[in-house]
């Protein structure tokens, strides 16, 4: 399992133990919501792709580095960056293209403007070129505020994204090419409202009126999941400190239910499906709920903790080199507590 710490280190976990030396160190900054924010494994398993804020904080970028270790190379540069609404998720779609989420960096009008970066989901080739056929330049979807987590649905090939609302309307959205997700003109279910920008408007799959601060998201892959959760969507929450479970309708665009699946004592930062079931992270550990076929226990098992006290500046995402992408965080409690304060502050600013 590949783990990246927010301060810039990419780590390797082998059989539940953290390798002592980092695989690589990416120059970045950790002011506000910036940092080394996510990692995805390429479909062939040879490369890691990480989302990181430039040390000068002027831009976000995506870098690629060999999974076996080596120097990172910038493949996407110049994405907008700011202390808040930074986004920062990466994932590969079924065609091997790189999907990247980016917040609107506190300039909400950019989210509806196809000529401006920010508030969008981008689609690139692994070498960093915009994919031919993208409807909005480098982007395939717009109208997002702060898309924090992203995963690709193994059933449809579409991405599911968590999007943080201002003081309400935290959303889970199913991303389709050419989709407009409303921000800042529409919050939650649109009714008669419509966004000002182009594209086909889509209501969220699920929307919370209360503030839960949605984070990482994953789909229980029917190829390995036990029958009672196969195809369900799971997402973490920062403020509620839970993992929530969404059961979808047949077309997979509307939630039939959105309920708390498990409560934690700490914020949940990231969630992913992996070889043993549902992996997730808290401030200090990566855990797994065994939900693969013939594993029925709902009790989480802690899979790893830092082998030595982490740098106080760190938070961390991760990625699994086995079955698909996994981005889980662990790090210093002090940083996570600070992040809670920052998240609440940006919601009201």
CA distance 89 to 78: 16
Please give the average per-residue pLDDT across 186-214, as a whole number: 96
Question: According to the model, what pLDDT value does residue 303 have?
Answer: 55
Please give the average per-residue pLDDT across 65-71, as a whole number: 96
* Residues 329-338: tens digit of each pLDDT: 333 322 322 2
The domains found in the chain, sorted by start residue, are 2-209+307-347 (2.120.10.30)
CA distance 274 to 327: 10
Two tokens at 290? 């065994």
Counting other chains too, the contacts that 251-259 makes at CB distance below 8 Å and 24 or more residues apart are 252/153, 252/155, 252/156, 252/158, 252/174, 253/174, 253/202, 253/205, 254/203, 254/205, 255/172, 255/205, 255/206, 258/172, 258/206, 258/208
Average pLDDT, the chain: 87
Q: Characterize 216-254 residue by residue with b for buried, 16 or more Cβ atoms within 10 angstroms of its Cβ, and e for exposed.
A: bbbbbbeebbbeebbbbbbbbbbbbbbbbbbebeeebbe
Decide: 318 and 328 in contact? Cβ < 8 Å. Answer: yes
Question: According to the model, what pLDDT value does residue 281 have?
Answer: 87
Which position has the higher pLDDT, 232 or 314? 232
* Residues 31-41: tens digit of each pLDDT: 999 999 999 99
Two tokens at 193? 């409202």
Two tokens at 194? 């419509």
Please give the average per-residue pLDDT across 64-86, as a whole number: 96
User: What's CA 11's distance to the chain center, in Å?
Assistant: 18
Please give the average per-residue pLDDT across 238-266, as a whole number: 97
CA distance 25 to 9: 4
Residue 93 pLDDT grade (very low, low, confident, very high; cuts 50, 70, 90): very high
* Residues 296-339: tens digit of each pLDDT: 555 666 655 443 333 322 333 444 433 233 333 333 322 322 23
CA distance 183 to 185: 5
217 closest CA partner among 139, 106, 108, 317: 317
CA distance 308 to 215: 26
Question: According to the model, what pLDDT value does residue 192 have?
Answer: 93
pLDDT at 50 over 80: yes
CA distance 222 to 216: 19
Decide: 63 and 52 in contact? Cβ < 8 Å. Answer: yes
The single residue listed with the structure tokens 């210093």 is 332
Decide: 259 and 237 in contact? Cβ < 8 Å. Answer: no
Two tokens at 71? 């120097």
Question: According to the model, what pLDDT value does residue 15 have?
Answer: 87
């Amino acid at each position: 399992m590949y783990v990246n710490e927010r301060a810039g280190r990419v780590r390797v976990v082998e059989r539940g133990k953290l390798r002592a030396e980092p695989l690589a160190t990416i120059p970045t900054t950790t002011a506000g919501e910036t940092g080394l924010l996510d990692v995805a494994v390429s479909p062939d398993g040879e490369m890691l792709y990480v989302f990181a804020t430039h040390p000068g904080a002027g831009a976000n970028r995506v870098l690629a580095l060999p999974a076996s270790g080596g120097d990172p190379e910038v493949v996407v540069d110049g994405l907008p960056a700011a202390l808040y609404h930074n986004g920062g998720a990466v994932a590969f779609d079924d065609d091997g293209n790189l999907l990247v989420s980016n917040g609107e960096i506190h300039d909400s009008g950019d989210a509806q403007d196809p000529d401006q970066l920010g508030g969008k989901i981008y689609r690139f080739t692994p070498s960093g070129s915009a994919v031919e056929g993208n409807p909005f330049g480098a982007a395939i979807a717009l109208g997002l505020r702060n898309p924090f987590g992203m995963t690709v649905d193994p059933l449809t090939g579409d991405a599911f994204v968590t999007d943080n609302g201002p003081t309400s309307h935290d959303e889970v959205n199913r991303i389709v090419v050419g989709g407009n997700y409303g921000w800042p003109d529409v919050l939650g279910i649109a009714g008669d409202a419509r966004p000002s920008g182009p594209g086909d408007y889509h209501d969220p799959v699920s929307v919370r009126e209360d503030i839960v601060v949605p984070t990482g998201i994953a789909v229980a892959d029917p190829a390995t999941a036990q029958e009672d959760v196969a195809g369900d969507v799971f997402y973490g929450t920062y403020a509620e400190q839970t993992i929530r479970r969404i059961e979808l309708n047949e077309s997979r665009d509307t939630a039939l239910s959105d309920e708390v699946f498990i409560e934690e004592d700490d914020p949940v930062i990231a969630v992913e499906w992996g070889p043993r079931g549902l992996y997730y992270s808290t401030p200090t550990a990566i855990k797994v709920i065994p939900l693969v076929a013939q594993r029925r226990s709902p009790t989480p098992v802690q899979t790893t903790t830092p082998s030595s006290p982490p740098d106080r500046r760190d938070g961390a995402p991760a990625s699994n080199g086995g079955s698909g992408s996994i981005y889980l965080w662990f790090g210093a409690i002090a940083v996570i507590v600070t992040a809670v304060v920052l998240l609440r502050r940006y919601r009201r600013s």
